[in-house]
Amino acid sequence: MSFKVQPSGFDTKAIHAGQSPEQWKSACVIPPISLSTTFKQDAPGEHRGYEYSRSGNPTRNVLETCLAALDNAKYGLTFSSGLGATTAVLTMLSSGDHIILGDDVYGGTNRLVRQVASRLGISATFVDPTNLEKLKAAIQPGTKLIWIETPTNPLIKVADIKEIATMCHGIREDLILAVDNTFLTSYFQRPLELGADLVCYSLTKYMNGHTDVVMGGITMNCDKLHGSLKFLQNAIGIVPSPFDCYQVNRSLKTLSLRMKQHQHNSIKIAKYLETHEFVEKVLHPALPSHPQHHIALKQTYGYSGVFSFYIKGELKQSSAFLKALQVFTLAESLGGYESLAELPSVMTHASVPAEDRKTLGITDGLIRLSVGLEDADDLINDLSQALDIASKI
């Protein structure tokens, strides 16, 4: 079996959606960077679509149009970071509202909900997103939002978006389903087509792909949700800079090319690790050994470069492994052209309560890789020599 077949047209949209030269008096082929913070008005209260750059910016609009097109969405909005996008979604809620999140989410999302949203009177329940019955049981009269990542971070669990969407909208039509699609991008997964209401991104990662921009994004079809989030984008002020928007817009032009290579490298490396005697378990949805392999095949068009594996031993062995890497860089984040490795238990997910980490399986032996665009054999050789060193500790 294989992943879904990618329909034609994605690359054409990535290159042309929102980019028409006719929208500029100069007819420039590449959209310009509009750095102006304010715009001349023809008369008091009469402007040509722009008045203040926080409220709207030509360069940002170009990116948002392209972003929406890649998800086959009606609207796209961008924010100052991935967590900025999450903050906008949470700010739609009110004190007394309840939300459901996957139990294995990005550490920053976990921290934002537990330590910030909770102080504003928003309660939360964390549930395994692969267990539909538990998700359904967690819904309360005051539940307004279900937030899932699929695949999850860092345990790479795959949730069935279509089943979850059918379940939550069957219970209440106004129950919002938001899917964090950072790991797969719109090239490999398009949650709106599966019934999600909002698709959220850390554009910092694969969508930009060059490790030089921090930004977030949301796509949607619902007019009401767009109106609310557009208002909050301006009211809260969590907008990206025009230069950063230019950078991400540029990066989307090569998104499919990069994602194909990330996929090729990560699958080759995952297969290698699965045969290594010092590796206990590999968590990669493209492998038949993955518990939700069948779901990944039916709802996605492929897989990216981020996955996790368990090394034998404890912190001493995992630290030795990570310090011995020469091509992979020991660093947080993911999705760039360079390969990164990290230890979630003490890095990206250190803010998750220790008891929760233990329950979930985020141990000191769990290593997360972001496989880049280097030659796969060089990356395998690097992992091999580091595993050899760790195994002798």
In this prediction, the residues of the chain whose per-residue pLDDT falls under 50 are none
Given the residues 106, 187, 201, 303, the one annotated as active site: 106
pLDDT at 354: 87
Closest CA to 203 of 264, 143, 255: 255
Give catalytic status of residue 180 as yes or no: yes
Residue 72: burial class (beta carbons within 10 Å; 0-12, 13-18, 19+): middle
Kindly report whether the global pTM for this prediction surpasses the value 0.75. Answer: yes
In the residue annotation, 364 being an active-site residue is answered as no
Only one residue has tokens 């518990």, namely 291
Q: Report the CATH number of the 10-251 domain.
A: 3.40.640.10
User: Which residue among the candidates 103, 180, 197, 364 is catalytic per the annotation?
Assistant: 180
Q: Is 310 left (phi over 0), alpha (psi -120 to 50) or beta?
A: beta
Tell me, what's the pLDDT at 119?
97
Closest CA to 387 of 344, 326, 346, 338: 326
> Is 25 annotated as catalytic?
no
pLDDT for the residue numbered 353:
86
Q: How far apart are the first and last CA of the chain?
A: 40
**Alpha-carbon distance 151 to 183, whole Å?**
7
54, 260, 281, 312: the catalytic one is 54
124-175 pLDDT, tens digit per residue, is: 999 999 999 999 999 999 999 999 999 999 999 999 999 999 999 999 999 9
Return the pLDDT at 27. 97
Domain locations in the chain as residue ranges: 10-251, 255-391
Q: Which of 211, 246, 214 is nearest to 64 (CA)?
A: 246
Q: In this structure, are residues 123 and 117 in contact, taking their beta carbons and an 8 Å threshold?
A: no
Tokens of 68: 């929406």
pLDDT, tens only, 224-269:
999 999 999 999 999 999 999 999 999 999 999 999 999 999 999 9
CA-CA distance, 378 to 338, in Å (whole number)? Answer: 12
Catalytic residue among 60, 205, 357, 368: 205
Active site residue 224: no
Assigned CATH for 255-391:
3.90.1150.10
Task: Decide if 291 contacts 325 (C-beta within 8 A).
Answer: no
pLDDT at 1: 67
